[in-house]
Amino acid sequence: QSALTQPASVSGSPGQSITISCTGTSSDVGGYNYVSWYQQHPGKAPKLMIYDVSNRPSGVSNRFSGSKSGNTASLTISGLQTEDEADYYCSSYTSNNALVVFGGGTKLTVL
């Protein structure tokens, strides 16, 4: 069982917006602004898309945005494109025994 809870799948049509949630506890997502999001295409290494809840690394499209409310972080992708179809993982610092926790991942399908 993953420490952070994500929906198994989400889908959207090109041009639409979708949001992926990532729910934790006050020991991780809710307690710190250290949430990051990763995109992984099949057979490829993950790629950092969002760090510190809402910051985009250089080169990442501004169609990707992040936010947090309470113990739930969210990744929003606007203007969906076919190349956005991938798996997305959230991650957070945790003050529990571990240091880093990942979510179980969400498969995004662009219909």
Partner 1 sequence: EVQLVQSGAEVKKPGESLKISCKGSGYRFTTYWIGWVRQMAGKGLEWMGIINPGDSDARYSPSFQGQVTISADKSISTAYLQWSSLKASDTAMYYCARFHYYGSGGTDAFDIWGQGTMVTVSS
Query: For residue 98, with 0-12 CB atoms within 10 Å meaning exposed, 13-18 middle and 19 or more buried, which class applies?
Result: exposed
Query: Tokens for 30?
Result: 């809710």
32 binds partner 1 (CB under 8 A): yes
Q: Which residue is listed with tokens 């990051």?
A: 36
Q: Strands, DSSP E only, in 35-93?
A: 35-40, 47-50, 64-69, 72-77, 86-93
Interface stretch with partner 1, choices 9-17, 22-30, 37-45, 64-72 (CB under 8 A) = 37-45
Query: Which residue in 75, 11, 83 sits closest to 38, CA to CA?
Result: 75
Q: For partner 1, what does the binding mask look like between residues 56 and 85, x meaning CB under 8 A?
A: -x----------------------------
100 binds partner 1 (CB under 8 A): yes
Query: Tokens for 111?
Result: 């219909």
Query: Tokens for 80?
Result: 């969906």
Q: Which of 22, 23, 38, 108 binds partner 1 (CB under 8 A)?
A: 38
Q: Which of 12, 21, 48, 63 binds partner 1 (CB under 8 A)?
A: 48
Q: Which of 12, 46, 61, 71 binds partner 1 (CB under 8 A)?
A: 46
Residues that bind partner 1 (CB under 8 A): 2, 32, 34, 36, 38, 40, 45-48, 51-52, 55, 57, 87, 89, 91, 93, 97-105
